[in-house]
Amino acid sequence: MVAISVVGSWAIRAVAFAMKLDAPPSSFGGFNVGLSLPIPLVQLAPHWYAIFAFWFVCASLALFGWQAVRALNAAGCSSLWPVYAGYGAIALVLTFFSVTLSIDGYFYTTFARLYGVFGINPYELASPIPTNDHVLAQEFQLLNNPPFPDPYGAGFTLLAGLVGRLESGASLWTMLWTFRIIAVFASLLTLAALAHVLRGAEPRERVRRVALVAFHPLMLYESGVGGHNDFLMVAAALWSYALVDEMPLIAGLLLGAAIAIKYFAAVLLPFVVLRAARKQLVAAALIVVLAALVPVLCFHPFTFGPPGEATLAKVGSSLSMSLNWLLALPLLAAHAPDAKVRLVQLVIGIAFLIVALISIVRYARALCNVEIFRTITALLWSLPAMHPWYAAWLIPASAVSRRWALYAWWFAALSLLLYAHEAVLPTSANHATFIVVTIFFLVAPLFARFASEPVANSRGAGSHPNRAAGPN
């Protein structure tokens, strides 16, 4: 898998730069600017060659990752250290991947530089920023000046500012690599949290389940190459759930930290509170207070005005590669009023709330982990725009629950198909392909899930919430 990472890095980069011959700057400005960066960004390409190479690399990682899980199981491995070491080695190599397909790393480093070095509030970017900073000059070629304001939680912005301050004299490449390392470290914490949740399982089975997550292609690529802050959120949220029985106050602080990184983590709050309430109502109440207090305190250094409000509105209304997008396409094609498009979002949002409410009620009765996965899945289906790394929110289900394991594994793996919309120029000819890719991404995991049901039943797994399975 290390060899796949090295060869894949070289191959995707070579294919991307070869396409420059068919990409004059006058017509493919974004593509050429992306390739000029310290870690070249493959976006808005004239052809599909680079994304095909990327998918081949991810499929290869998936195949060999699957085989690694089987090999560990066949060898009777009962220690988690080979899993941690294996993931760490592969992910470390991936942090040196020579290209990226996501623009997010450049936003992270921009906000880190703005806040950590110059003390500029990244939530209030309404006018051009006067600076001769060589790092920001590189960033603004891609992101414009002013860049899109910070859409992340204040907890992450504070961390980014710390990175910016510590690396004030570093190159842009070094800052990008640092965020990759942070994501890899967060992923190791996620694996440790999974191991803690599964501590009651038979040792060999626990190793197999954790390995299913560790060697998943999305886990490897999006942490090592994408360096996304979602892994920080998932690590904090999963440790919160893992520790709520033993240390509810720590669990509340961790959940607050997860929410402060990305507000979507709040979806876990009712489940953590209900679990804590089974032992002590006071602890449950304190968790609510801490989970709300941490994000508020993190936001204390910042102000939030019209630019920040406009940012949240834009993020909440941008449709791409999602169920929202698919259902809104006929309205968009007919140039329907924006209110009708937002009505589609409202209906899907209400559907999510209904699913979440039912899951919370059912969880209160039996503390069944499946209800958490059902709620997260409903949240992902309800998003206006779906990006591959969002599937990291569901990937722990690959280890914990048999009922959702196969679905979660394939949902996360196939989410890597969604890079098509970012890596290839969205022409009218490519638009139909984007639609097919999105439908396949949403539907295929359902077929995998229900096709496996007879097999699961024949093995006597039933629907026990703490039984897990994946590709094997």
DSSP for 366-418, written as a single string: H--HHHHHHHHHHHHHH-SB--GGGGGGTTTHHHH-HHHHHHHHHHHHHGGGG
Q: Which residues contact 24 (CB under 8 A, 6 or more apart)?
A: none
Instruction: Please provide the average confidence, as pLDDT, over all residues in the chain.
Output: 91
pLDDT higher than 70, residue 459 = no
Q: What would the mean pLDDT of 366-374 be, rounded to a whole number?
A: 91
Q: Which residues contact 242 (CB under 8 A, 6 or more apart)?
A: 193, 196, 197
> Who has greater pLDDT, 449 or 240?
240
Q: What pLDDT is recorded for position 247?
A: 94
pLDDT higher than 50, residue 463 = no
pLDDT band at residue 401 using 50, 70 and 90 as cut-offs: low
Alpha helices per DSSP H over 299-392: 306-317, 323-333, 338-366, 369-382
Helix axes 49-74, 203-214, angle to 10 degrees: 170
Assess contact for 236 and 258: CB atoms under 8 A.
Answer: yes
pLDDT band at residue 403 using 50, 70 and 90 as cut-offs: low
Percent of the chain exceeding pLDDT 90 equals: 79
pTM above 0.75, yes or no: yes
Q: What pLDDT is recorded for position 407?
A: 92
pLDDT higher than 60, residue 461 = no
Both tokens of residue 398? 């690959």
Q: What pLDDT is recorded for position 464?
A: 39
Q: Which residues contact 384 (CB under 8 A, 6 or more apart)?
A: 316, 317, 318, 319, 320, 322, 324, 325, 345
Q: What pLDDT is recorded for position 471?
A: 30
Q: What pLDDT is recorded for position 457?
A: 44
Q: What pLDDT is recorded for position 244?
A: 95
pLDDT higher than 70, residue 468 = no
First to last CA, the chain: 18
Query: What pLDDT digit, counting tens, does each position of 156-215 carry?
Result: 999 999 999 999 999 999 999 999 999 999 999 999 999 999 998 899 999 999 999 999
> Who has greater pLDDT, 303 or 295?
295
Q: What pLDDT is recorded for position 466?
A: 43
Q: What would the mean pLDDT of 132-155 be, rounded to a whole number?
A: 92
Neighbours of 63 (CB within 10 A): 14
pLDDT higher than 90, residue 416 = yes
334-361: b (≥16 Cβ within 10 Å) or e: eeeeeeebbebbeebbeebeebbeebbe
pLDDT band at residue 460 using 50, 70 and 90 as cut-offs: very low
Q: Rounded to 5 degrees, what are φ and ψ at 130?
A: -80, 105
pLDDT band at residue 458 using 50, 70 and 90 as cut-offs: very low
Q: What pLDDT is recorded for position 137?
A: 92
Q: What would the mean pLDDT of 14-41 be, rounded to a whole number?
A: 94
Peptide bond into 301 cis (omega under 30): no
Residue for token pair 């009708």: 340
Q: What pLDDT is recorded for position 472?
A: 28
Q: For 70-91, give the secondary structure using H, E and C.
A: HHHHHCCCCCCHHHHHHHHHHH
